[in-house]
Amino acid sequence: MLKGKTFFITGGAGFIGTALIRCIIEENRVIVYDNLSRNSLVGSGLCTHPNLTIIQGDVLNYDHLKSSIPQSVDVVLHMAAIAGIDTVIKDPVKTLEVNAIGSYHLLKALMELGLVQRIQRFVYFSTSEVFGIEAFRVSESSPTNLQPVGEARWTYAVSKLMGEHLTHSYYKQFGLRAVTIRPFNVYGPGQVGEGAIHQFVIRAIRGEPLIIHGEGDQIRSWCYIDDMVDGILLCLEKESAIGQVFNVGNPRGTITILRLAEKIVQLSGSSSRIVHVPKPYVDV
């Protein structure tokens, strides 16, 4: 049981961070470092909790990031990232900067503060997209896959993979007690952003068309947020997790995007139409 710890969470105001904070806040001190661009903490009832401190900042601002990390920190979770296919394709340079350089900044700050060997756990959040276009039925030992240069879609995956290598190198070279998590498609209450279930449900409730890019044959493995949080807590509590990489998803929740849209329309009793539009990018 995690009690009496100080957590420092980059990107902690996001969907997954907010759900995790809800589980740990009563018995621990939590510091969130986030630019608040996607803020799930708002409306969560957590913002005024006496154990929570929110620092608005950018992981690209090294000096501010470093000065925000307390010497008393026990656990660091690095969730801050540019994500979402529309955002990534629109701004691949920012995606690379935030995801790759931001990760470097955090690890460098921990080193310069003399905290690398002190902290009890460092958790890096990667992505299932490091497996490229073939992310179906993969294991942690499956080869990661670098896709062709020039496709903006893959800037997200390669920036996350760089973070995986850097995190593991700090573990091997400097003794950082690190764990890497590769979330698959997480959904549930409090979600913000571009997730398909989130967007489809909102549109179905409003009676708006559900937009599918291409034929809708893209396969996704959907993981409920509570299961995701359980996986994170195990990575924090189990000593055997140190130095490991974990795919966190749900093989039983695998479904195509088209079938997902059809199911949401059916279950909601919505009058929404399913509309196919051209897919101007590669997909998984």
Residues annotated as catalytic are 156
82's tokens: 């540019």
DSSP state of 143: P
H or E segment to which residue 268 belongs: helix 257-268
SS3 97: helix
SS3 269: coil
99's tokens: 């995801």
DSSP state of 4: S
Number of helices (H), then strands (E), in the chain:
9, 12
CA torsion through residues 236, 160, 36, 185, sign: negative
